[in-house]
Amino acid sequence: MTKTPQQKLTEDQTHKAYLIAKYVYENPKTKTIAQGAKELSSEHKVNFGTAKILIRVLQDLLSGLEFTRALNEYTMRYYLQNITLDYGLSARDRALMALMKHIIYRETGNKLTGRKPVKQIAMRLAYEEFLSDGDKYKGLAEDQIEQEKILKNLVNKNLINKSIKDEIRRMNGDETEIITITLSLYKRENRAVALIKLLRGAKCQMCGTGILKQDDSYYIEAAHITPKYMGGKETLENIIILCPNHHKEFDLGACKITHRDTKSIAFTLNGQHYNLSLD
Ligand SMILES: [Zn+2]
């Protein structure tokens, strides 16, 4: 087999690779690995060989199977994090199992084929971090799942904006961590976030995107303007609704807030200017 030289991927290409690979995994009858790879290479300029690897590896991670071709560290971490977010903790554990099989494969040479053992330092580090950092990702994934459950219940209730806003404001004054809604226990902050998502139409406030899920609801994330660890709360003034791509860019990119009051926020993010309503 001829080896395809792996190209250096941009973060956006990694994001697109994940989305296409996820689609192929969930809809194998609609799109094959080869079709997905073709799309990734023609529309997002990833070379075809690399595109196939990117799609196959996600299938192997989700199935807990050994894979032989390597991903770069950024892509591996991106995949692990998004697997956790999209498929939950057991999927993350399966993915880590697949990664460990891969590490062992790469670190074991083969005398017959002349394959040399290669130390997998970056991959071992990612593995260790995702394993021990489980709690961080656990919190993230579970909150996201809970918010979606609440949002799904809220959507059919035809609530008017004023009553949604009133509830968000009321919740902010409430210090109870856990609340009961129709016999289910929820974290108060997840209820508040779900209400804000509902109010703002479950679409990214920066680009208008919402990710349609199989059950016809939308996947969307909430970003804190003042981070939680700095005391930022789940209020209309402090939450913006973003797609996963813009959420990452908002958290990791070069961001300068140029104006902020209780009704809107304006900022420059990686050189692009945005003005978002906080109403
Ligand atoms: Zn967006």
pLDDT, tens only, 134-182: 555 555 667 888 888 888 888 878 888 899 999 898 887 776 677 766 6
Domain count, the chain: 2
Does some domain include residue 252? Answer: yes
Which of 132, 154, 181 lies at the terminal end of a domain, its last residue? Answer: 132
Is residue 161 assigned to a domain? yes
Same domain, 116 and 228: no
How far away, in angstroms, is 40 Cα from ligand 1 center?
20
Q: Say if residues 265 and 259 touch (Cβ distance below 8 Å).
A: yes
* 92: its two tokens: 């993350």
Q: pLDDT by residue (tens digit) across 93-138?
A: 899 999 999 999 999 988 888 889 999 999 999 998 888 765 555 5
Q: How far is the CA of 209 from the centre of ligand 1 (A)?
A: 6
256 & 154 share domain: yes
Distance 242 CA to ligand 1 centre (A): 5
Alpha helices in the chain (DSSP H): 11-26, 33-44, 48-63, 73-87, 89-107, 121-132, 134-155, 161-173, 188-199, 244-252
**DSSP conformation class of 246:** H
**In 10 A of CB 67, how many CB atoms?**
20
At 189, the pLDDT band (50, 70, 90 cuts) reads confident
Going from the Cα of 15 to the center of ligand 1, the distance in angstroms, rounded, reads 12
- pLDDT for the residue 94: 93
Contacts of 182 (CB under 8 A, 6+ apart): 153
How many Å from the N-terminal Cα to the C-terminal Cα in the chain? 57
State the distance from the centre of ligand 1 to the C-alpha of 185, rounded, in angstroms.
30
Domain that residue 83 falls in? 11-132
Instruction: Quote the ligand 1 centre to 71 CA distance (angstroms).
Output: 26
pLDDT band at 4 (very low <50, low <70, confident <90, very high): very low
Distance (Å, whole) CA 143 – CA 145: 5
The verdict on 182 and 155 lying in the same domain is: yes
Q: How far is the CA of 244 from the centre of ligand 1 (A)?
A: 7
Q: How far is the CA of 11 from the centre of ligand 1 (A)?
A: 14
Q: Are residues 149 and 266 in the same domain?
A: yes
Centroid of ligand 1 to alpha carbon of 275 (angstroms): 13
Hey, what amino acid is at 201? G
**Per-position b or e across 103-115, b if 16+ CB within 10 A of its CB:** bebbeeeeeeeee
Please say which residue of 85, 106, 132 terminates a domain.
Answer: 132
CA–centroid distance, 274 to ligand 1, in Å, is 11
- Cα 276 to ligand 1 centre (Å): 12
> Are 123 and 226 part of one and the same domain?
no
Residue 32 sits in the same domain as residue 71 = yes
Task: Say yes or no: 72 and 184 in one domain.
Answer: no
Beta bridge partners of 266: 259, 275
| Residue 258 pLDDT level (bands cut at 50, 70, 90) | very high
Decide: helix, strand or coil at residue 74.
helix
Cα 205 to averaged position of ligand 1 atoms, centre (Å): 7
Compute the distance between CA of residue 254 and CA of residue 247 in angstroms, rounded to an integer.
13
Quote the CA–CA distance of 23 and 72 in Å, as a whole number.
21
Tell me the two tokens of residue 210: 């919402």
Is the domain of 242 the same as that of 144? yes
Domain end (from 107, 132, 157):
132
Whether the CB-CB separation of 179 and 150 falls below 8 Å is answered with no
Determine the distance separating the centroid of ligand 1 and the alpha carbon of 97, expressed in angstroms: 32
pTM above 0.85, yes or no: no
Q: What is the 3-state secondary structure (H, E, C) of 17-69?
A: HHHHHHHHHHCCCCCCHHHHHHHHHHHHCCCHHHHHHHHHHHHHHHHCCCCCC
Q: How far is the CA of 206 from the centre of ligand 1 (A)?
A: 5
What is the distance in A from the centroid of ligand 1 to the CA of 64? 31
For residue 239, the model assigns a pLDDT of 96
| Ligand 1: centre distance to CA 243 (Å) | 4
Can you give the pLDDT at residue 135? 55
In percent, the amount of the chain with pLDDT more than 90 equals 55
**Mean pLDDT of the region 206-231:** 87
Same structural domain, 152 and 267: yes
CA of 44 to the centre of ligand 1 (A): 18
Kindly tell me if the per-residue pLDDT of 89 is higher than 60.
yes
CB 116 within 8 A of CB 107: no
| Ligand 1 mean position, distance from CA 247 (Å) | 7
Same domain, 202 and 183: yes
Question: From residue 72, how far is each of 76, 85, 102, 189, 206 by CA, in Å?
Answer: 6, 20, 13, 36, 29
Q: What is the mean pLDDT of the chain?
A: 88
Same structural domain for residues 42 and 104?
A: yes
CA 116 to chain CA centroid, Å, is: 35
Is residue 171 a part of any domain in this protein? yes
Instruction: Quote the DSSP letter at residue 115.
Output: B
Q: Residue 165 Cα, ligand 1 centroid: separation in angstroms?
A: 23
Angle separating helix axes 48-63 and 11-26, nearest 10 degrees? 60
Q: Is residue 227 part of a domain?
A: yes
